[in-house]
Structure 1
């Protein structure tokens, strides 16, 4: 009996020890990475991005995917395509199958993760429902990796939904696909997305355009720098005096309109996918456009041709605007509404900025101190542009770029200060006129004699 007790105690001790060791190991080990499924809901299709960790994929796929992973798609692309398509089978609510097509695959490193650094296979697919079926209500039969690795799971999120005003920067989770332990089955995920509208999508793009300019310090700096001397006339190859309110408003309207037409053309071309220019080159050219406009603000180098310069550089700025829309991959109708709404948002924000700054520049243009303000603005814009050019060519942040971006956060106070200086300049001018008038009157009084009238000697 003592022997049986000793055996039972030994077994209990060993079990307890193993349990504690397992708990210690699990507490210190990294959790295994999960899969991610991102859905982009379009008008007639659903685009899908899969993010599959290679370590987990290898266990389910049955091939050595971690070996020479850079050439994985080249080595096993056909087998991987067959595997993925076999384990993704969406159907309508009444069981009709969707068509699924794999577009591309690539291996990418993941550095920042609770699981530690690892590599994952990113695959892009397109799921098309049967004719007449909705893209917003379907059963998502998915068991990639999970069919073999029982503790693996996939987080499913909607990343883009134009009709509901959802952009790629704010995905929301719709469910988790994992093994259902009680039934020992991987149950399909019911995807039921709220019905949106074209109006919601359009207003979201309008807001996106406003936000783009609000945060686009370089775009606004170019336009404002080009407008700095727009109220002045050229005198002997130098910026002269104020040209008048009518003259100023006409020139400002021409410059702004030309810039708008220029960027609208390339926004349309770029967003439609007709042409594409590398993003870094565009950013460098935008910084260069600021530098050139700063030189012109200091001294007229293309007097009378500001409209053409604004239109030409507008073409470059429009390419940058198009980068925001180029990856939407919408149907023709929604693409057109996106371009219209985004461009309208850009124009509204530009007009707002101009409306709160140009009146003060027109007032200041009449004062002698405007030359100092214009020169200072030109120098600041030139320094900022040089900092941005260096930053964008080297792909390394510098103090100049950081300072300009930090100063942009106080833009409302800069406008307020500009307004105060403008108002003060009016009082100074009035006071100067009063003094001049008083001196003139005193001079006349001094020359006047009751007997002889004015003494001109």
Structure 2
């Protein structure tokens, strides 16, 4: 029977493809930020809950003045008369209705601002259901500016926070009002479905867009393939042991994060501020020191859990804004922490294979020391900035890395692949063992008596 032999690429090529594929997970799976708001258009940003919606209306000054006949010359605010007339203008051109009846719209004090480098007028908005709970959909009608300027667009964004800020990481385009469409229906977040999925996504974004969180996790993963000795890192673990240790570290951080997040959210405490942010930066520095020299033998799990308690406090305020009582808070906690764990496992999948490959070679200790030192310097720079409010010279570099942290995982994969290729080439091209010198054969000594060895001719 004929068998066909399948051609397989060489092992270094297969490893390189695996490493690059794992690192590319961060690029492909990270939640994509919302696109930037279109200059010259109005932005209506709302966080919609079962019985209310909070946000803001951002209108370009030039087109608002053309549509309303009002003037906004003040760079830092509006006159009381203009504010009153603008409130009436908005309430005349906006309507909100749930499945059980109309919602009341309240406009706050207008202020001038900038959006995309252009002057805007921002008006805080609160929409409240007149019925106790309106859980299905919210229908909006809006022709602000649009009634007078028919070419105008009003983009509606759903936000994860109630401040109405136009920040790409927190908003998602829900629809657009224009001359052909003055009605838009939004789903209301309830205790399941879209609200749960949104909160899971927000938990993932919390990890993947937080450079301090990513750096803290990377510092804990650096020594994962190694065994801690007496105040120094020693030999490497077996692959199964190293992977188990890695998952323990990641899960310990999530557990600590979950505990503090739950306590702060449900208790209503507000521990945030400059001091907490400074402590978080110092926790990253401590994890970098541990990657250089073990602070506690086998203490990565303890460090991850302890610092998870600190990191969880910093994000509790956002979940409290969701409202929904205790049941809603529990749902949001579960969804948010699920997103955190999924994102951390994604980081593990993108980084750990490269670390395992490097740890099998003689240069891993150099890579570990360089990476840990860079992490320590970055963490100390954060601590100084957060404690003093000053900007350090490292700020441009930190901002550049924050914009594309996945490039670090890709760079690590390339370094690991090159290290593997170099090791294989060294083994293949190394000096061969010299052949043993030839030894001349010893003469055969016979034990037979000489008389018996004589031939008949000799005997004659």
TM-score tier after normalising by the smaller chain length: 0.5 to 0.7
Alignment of 1:336-351 (within 5 A): 336-351=330-345
**Residues 39-95 of structure 1: CA deviation (Å, up to 9, x unaligned):** 4332233335345799979x9999x9989987978x999x8999699758857599x
In 2, Cα distance between equivalents of 1:143 and 1:53? 14
Do the aligned partners of residues 245 and 161 (structure 1) sit closer, same or farther apart at CA in structure 2, a change above 3 Å counting? closer
Q: 1:92 to 1:364 in 2, by over 3 A?
A: closer
Spell out the pairing of 1:396-415 with structure 2 (5 A cutoff): 398-402=395-399, 404-405=401-402, 408-415=406-413
Query: Could you say what the CA RMSD is over the residues aligned between the two structures, in angstroms?
Result: 5.3
Paired residues for 1:6-405 under 5 Å: 37-47=44-54, 49-50=56-57, 90=95, 98=102, 100=104, 102=106, 105-112=108-115, 117=119, 120=121, 122-130=123-131, 136=137, 138=139, 140=141, 157-160=155-158, 168-175=170-177, 190-193=183-186, 198-245=192-239, 247-269=241-263, 274-278=268-272, 281-322=275-316, 325=319, 327-329=321-323, 335-390=329-384, 392=386, 393-395=389-391, 398-402=395-399, 404-405=401-402
Q: Give TM-score scaled by structure 1 length.
A: 0.62
Q: Please state whether the residue corresponding to 2:171 is helix, strand or coil.
A: coil
Structure 2: runs of 5+ lacking an equivalent? 1-39, 161-167, 443-460
Residue 21 of structure 1 corresponds to which residue in structure 2? Answer: none
- Judged with a 3 Å threshold, the aligned counterparts in structure 2 of structure 1 residues 295 and 134 are, in CA distance, closer, same or farther, namely closer
Range with greater deviation from structure 2 (369-378 or 355-364): 355-364
- CA distance 1:419–1:351, shift in 2 (3 Å): farther
Q: How many residues align?
A: 387
Deviation at 1:351, TM superposition (A): 1.7
Deviation per residue, 1:286-333 (Å, 9 max, x gap): 332222222222222333433222112112333455566554455655
User: Residue 45 and residue 154 in structure 1: after superposition, are their counterparts in 2 closer, same or farther (change >3 A)?
Assistant: farther
CA contact (8 A) 2:320 2:329 kept: no
The 1-side partners of 2:196 and 2:252 are apart by: 25
Q: Which runs of 5+ in 1 are unaligned?
A: 1-32, 178-187, 450-457
Deviation at 1:261, TM superposition (A): 0.9
TM-score normalized by the length of structure 2: 0.62
Q: 1 or 2 for the larger relative contact order (CA 8 Å, sep ≥6)?
A: 2
Deviations 1:404-431 (A, max 9, x none): 4467425224224324425754786899
Q: Deviations over 1:345-373 (max 9, x none)?
A: 32123223323433443454454333222
Q: Per the alignment, do residues 332 and 239 of structure 1 end up closer, same or farther by CA in structure 2, a change over 3 Å counting? A: same
For residues 202 and 133 of structure 1, the distance between their equivalents in structure 2, rounded to whole angstroms, comes to 18
Question: What is the aligned partner in structure 2 of residue 453 from structure 1?
Answer: none
Distance 1:426 1:267, change over 3 A: farther
Contact 2:289/2:295 (CA < 8 Å) preserved in 1? yes
* Partner Cα distance (2:116, 2:422) in 1: 57
- The 8 Å contact of residues 241 and 365 in structure 1, kept in 2 or not, is answered as no
Structure 1 53/425 Cα, relative in aligned 2: closer, same or farther at 3 Å?
closer
CA distance 1:45–1:110, shift in 2 (3 Å): closer
Counterpart CA distance in 2 for 1:192 and 1:399 is 42
CA distance, structure 2, for counterparts of residue 327 and residue 129 of structure 1 = 20
**CA deviation vs aligned residue, 1:231-271 (integer Å, no higher than 9, x gap):** 43344422222354565345433322221211222333456
Alpha-carbon distance in structure 1 between the residues aligned to 2:353 and 2:85: 63
In the TM superposition, what is the alpha-carbon distance from 1:128 to its structure 2 partner? 0.2
Q: Contact 2:61–2:119 at 8 Å: present in 1 too?
A: no
Higher mean alpha-carbon deviation, 316-325 vs 149-158, is at 149-158
Q: Would the alpha carbon gap of residues 338 and 158 (structure 1) be closer, same or farther in structure 2, given more than 3 Å must change?
A: farther
- 1:97–1:267 CA distance, 2 compared to 1 (3 A): same
